[in-house]
Structure 1
């Protein structure tokens, strides 16, 4: 009878240990490719994270863990060769060969990026572009290429993955609905690998199948009461991060990335410690709303870095937000029934709930120190 609880326990502990790996846990590896096509000429800008390029071709010449402008500049030729060996543009079945126009460095919400400016001339006026993108897919299958294409006054977007490495965009390219679905999928994936967001949500959900009497946790009596508690938390979190996700993506609010990520880590610590030393037990939905406002800024980094115009941004924003909610609901749907079944066992009350809360607080505190003081605790 104990095999199922122990299996669930081992799975949860392994998952939590996995969460301790990256400091910037909710920001996946992305590159940002912007193309402006007019007549036969494509003007492009490609932003690639320095940390990704360092992993791929080695930028840190002295091995001290810090990249300097001289180290990056000395690798400009290798950066261009590496990038354009993994990107091809074609129009009317003819290759449009890129020529590098310059190299820059720019800061995104998650760190410094190398910027490659380039042009590509095609044989005839461009109606559609066939784009083959395979940057980093061989060493990081979770990497995504986010594309913005301006052609004939129309903005198209696409997300390149190992499964969608070749796409056609333009007058005959992917429709608005297909682009919308891409961002729905991206939103689902973003929440599923956003470990700090998941741990914050789990910290608030763990007590949902328990009740607090005289500062002692007991199993709840009905599934309805647990479900009601969960719905309050999820609704508050959803409303809050939707507000700030929209505000940040549309450019109404811009806050420092380090401050946002530090507060997100702190929210996970506080939510986990509240399970051990209940302070706002009856108001966990309020904590979900307050800290959800900050988590929304973390979600927005994907869209703000892409720099979409308002017309394209609204559709991407709605699709991405729907994806986040679907991913979040999938987590809740998987968690709640299992937690309710196990709520009366020592496995859940002592190990999953108490030990899990301690482990979450420990991992999140490590993230907090890393983000606030720019130091390394967990080897990434």
Structure 2
């Protein structure tokens, strides 16, 4: 967290200068190392003048024609050793591009063989040190959860351990994701507020006993869990990859609709069916941290199970905190007149702001 605050302060001090970042990932398999470096085309164009026709737009042909120069710049600006010893370069992948939130990047992938099984990488990062004082690199190890390593050009070698996080670490990561995901938490809160009630025509009425409330909560949580587990697995494995802006906008919409349904029921059918549909959207949103790990095939199984278990434990914690209180208050006038309408209205208002921000790329909330 401190690294990110320093980066934010640096970028603020740079005033009009646009943040410049390169993304670096390492995959270690015994003595084999795969390195992937994503460099923004705008940074490469500044140093290498890739825009041959000067029209202000970079074509694939212009980038591909200068690929040897791009590889040479990357080789001069980035070197690594394994446990203090140099590794032997094996091959390089064909030229390719990829999109990040800050624009199009050139992707350089290479493979190395080291003298022995790798325990630690020492990264000497000097990319754009002479031409962009604000540039930074973000390095991570494939399969290791947590924040990337912030690389400052010219700061000297920095260490990146190659021990991946175990099952318990991914469980903790899933719980942390729920704790930090206010939209997911408020969706659950919205459901639980009226789980202690039953539909009564166009409104709600308190359930006679706790058994009915527990049964309804079980149906809702089960529907949400099954639905989001399906799309979490598909999205984390790369089977589906909808734009994050759409996903985040739809998550905000699910919170809004659930809150409005609290105020005046309008969703047809049993509520668990609505929750199952909405859970499919939330599952894609849950997949972000796992997708960032860059895992493939069987590598994803254990992290996926651990992360999903952590998400479920986080959900159960919300249920354990809120449901007993809702049961206690379900027949009180204050709960019917103030707590549910007031809480649902506040959640609906916040979800509306989220929806506007995410769908229209606005900045309405601090």
The TM-score with structure 2 as length reference comes to 0.65
Kept after mapping to 1: 8 A contact 2:35/2:110: yes
The residue number in structure 2 matching 1:363 is 350
In structure 1, distance between residues paired with 2:198 and 2:29: 64
Matched, 1:205 2:192: yes
Which of 297, 320, 329 pairs up with 2:316? 329
The residue number in structure 2 matching 1:127 is 117
Structure 1 residues 46 and 299 mapped into 2: Cα distance closer, same or farther (>3 Å)?
farther
Structure 1 residues 342 and 131 mapped into 2: Cα distance closer, same or farther (>3 Å)?
farther
Kept after mapping to 2: 8 A contact 1:37/1:126: no
Matched, 1:194 2:181: yes
The residue number in structure 2 matching 1:44 is 35
Structure 1 residues 38 and 317 mapped into 2: Cα distance closer, same or farther (>3 Å)?
closer
Deviations 1:121-156 (A, max 9, x none): 99x7242323699xxxxxxxxxx98531xxxxxxxx
Kept after mapping to 1: 8 A contact 2:31/2:118: no
**1:260-299 paired onto structure 2 within 5 Å:** 260-280=247-267, 283-299=270-286
Structure 1 stretch displaced more, 343-352 or 270-279:
343-352
Deviations 1:89-116 (A, max 9, x none): 8854x4889xxxxxx99535x6659889
Deviations 1:335-354 (A, max 9, x none): 10111112233443233211
Deviations 1:188-237 (A, max 9, x none): 11112111111122212210112333434333221111111111011111
Query: How much is the aligned-residue C-alpha RMSD, in angstroms?
Result: 4.4
In structure 1, distance between residues paired with 2:97 and 2:326: 48
The residue number in structure 1 matching 2:18 is none
Aligned residues: 292
Q: Which runs of 5+ in 2 are unaligned?
A: 1-21, 41-55, 58-73, 88-95, 124-137, 149-158
Instruction: Find the structure with the greater CA-based Rg.
Output: 2
The residue number in structure 1 matching 2:146 is 160
Kept after mapping to 2: 8 A contact 1:158/1:182: no
The TM-score with structure 1 as length reference comes to 0.63
The residue number in structure 1 matching 2:141 is 147
Structure 1 residues 37 and 320 mapped into 2: Cα distance closer, same or farther (>3 Å)?
closer
Which of 183, 201, 208 pairs up with 2:170? 183
Kept after mapping to 1: 8 A contact 2:224/2:275: yes
Q: Which runs of 5+ in 1 are unaligned?
A: 1-30, 50-67, 70-79, 98-103, 134-143, 149-156
The residue number in structure 2 matching 1:101 is none
Structure 1 residues 196 and 283 mapped into 2: Cα distance closer, same or farther (>3 Å)?
same
In structure 1, distance between residues paired with 2:199 and 2:230: 31
The alignment partner of 1:242 has SS state of helix
Higher relative contact order (CA 8 A, sep 6+): 1
The offset of 1:319, in angstroms, is 1.6
Structure 1 residues 95 and 193 mapped into 2: Cα distance closer, same or farther (>3 Å)?
farther
Kept after mapping to 2: 8 A contact 1:41/1:119: no
